[in-house]
Structure 1
């Protein structure tokens, strides 16, 4: 079972490829929902040095950033070895 961690948003790095998929309307909609209900689904990250790399939850992360939040709830998972 995955354990939720409170992570500092500034330590979560978004891969360049992922940044190109940003949908501003989706971010706005999520931000409005989070104002009412809070963050209901944690993001997924993997540890990378002293920070984290985003795996899943780009729009949730950006919605929290737009709201001025300093932290995000997330699961820290291990990277798969191929």
Structure 2
């Protein structure tokens, strides 16, 4: 799979996925990303005029918390939830 760089504001997070957000985990991950960089890409699928997050909510939120405007991602073929 090829990693691409996607603008964070073009990624839609389904409400079902957002319910699992742990703020403490986001903070810890943001610190780790700041020190070591993003270790693994998030997974998204192509939706209508946007990307839909499949996996990597905490990484996405951590990158946003750091003020980054883009994130490494892998585009996967996935069925809609």
TM range (shorter): over 0.9
Q: TM-score w.r.t. structure 2 length?
A: 0.94
Q: TM-score w.r.t. structure 1 length?
A: 0.93
- Consecutive unaligned residues in structure 1, runs of 5 or more: none
Counterpart of 2:16 in 1: which secondary structure? helix
Q: 1:17, 1:79 → 2: CA distance?
A: 16
The root-mean-square deviation of aligned C-alpha atoms, in Å, is 1.1
Q: What are the Cα deviations for residues 54-79 of structure 1, in whole angstroms up to 9, with x where unaligned?
A: 00000000000000000000000112
Count of aligned positions: 80
- Consecutive unaligned residues in structure 2, runs of 5 or more: none
Q: 2:16, 2:78 → 1: CA distance?
A: 17
Counterpart of 1:50 in 2: which secondary structure? coil
Q: What are the Cα deviations for residues 7-39 of structure 1, in whole angstroms up to 9, with x where unaligned?
A: 000000001011111100000000000010111
| Counterpart check, 1:70 vs 2:81 | no
